[in-house]
């Protein structure tokens, strides 16, 4: 568990765990990509929640997951479809306050998974991060 250093103007944020890494693939490489992770690396396929796209795969990696999503025109605008890491945080409001204090970009998800609250941001190098607060 990692706690970011506290600043007086914003509350501390506790990152509880890595939930998943989302990786993308060209649609024509779907079978080959999924087979690589399942057969070559031996990862366990997971069922996707009802209503999620049938393409790609979700895979178990210890206590975390890898989500494989097809890349396609317009996918970059779909927040959860882009390449990103998902970090579970203890308090999403505190995390958002820290991001705002640091002038980091914030993208709210209008359709988060049932029970979850989440937002997306980017680090200074442009890597997308999902910060997610699980149901209480």
Torsion angle defined by CA atoms of residues 15, 43, 55 and 105, in that order, rounded to the nearest 10 degrees: 20
6-59 pLDDT, tens digit per residue, is 454 667 788 999 999 999 888 888 999 999 999 988 999 999 877 776 778 999
CB 111 within 8 A of CB 117: no
By CB atoms closer than 10 A (0-12, 13-18, 19+), residue 35 is exposed
Instruction: Point out the least confidently predicted range of 27-41, 63-77, 100-114.
Output: 63-77
For residue 116, what pLDDT band results from cuts at 50, 70 and 90? confident
- Domain 20-133, CATH homologous superfamily name and number: 2,3-Dihydroxybiphenyl 1,2-Dioxygenase, domain 1 (3.10.180.10)
Confidence grade of residue 66 (pLDDT, cut at 50, 70, 90): very high
pTM score of the predicted model:
0.75
Q: Are 82 and 75 in contact (CB under 8 A)?
A: yes
Domain edges within the chain: 20-133
Q: How confident is the model at residue 78 (pLDDT cuts 50, 70, 90)?
A: low
Percent of the chain with pLDDT over 70: 84
Q: What is the DSSP letter of 133?
A: E
Query: What integer is the mean pLDDT of 75-92?
Result: 77
């Amino acid at each position: 568990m990692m706690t970011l250093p506290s600043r007086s103007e914003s509350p501390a944020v506790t990152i509880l765990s890595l939930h998943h890494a989302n990786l993308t693939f060209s649609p024509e490489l779907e079978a080959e990509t999924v087979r690589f992770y399942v057969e070559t690396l031996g990862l366990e396929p997971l069922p996707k929640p009802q209503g999620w796209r049938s393409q790609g795969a979700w895979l178990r990696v210890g206590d975390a997951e890898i989500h494989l999503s097809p890349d396609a025109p317009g996918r970059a605008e779909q927040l959860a479809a882009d390449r990103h890491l998902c970090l579970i945080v203890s308090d999403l409001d505190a995390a958002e306050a820290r991001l705002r204090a640091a002038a980091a970009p914030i993208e709210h998800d209008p359709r988060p998974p049932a029970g979850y609250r989440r937002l997306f941001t980017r680090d200074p190098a442009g890597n997308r991060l999902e910060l997610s607060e699980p149901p209480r």
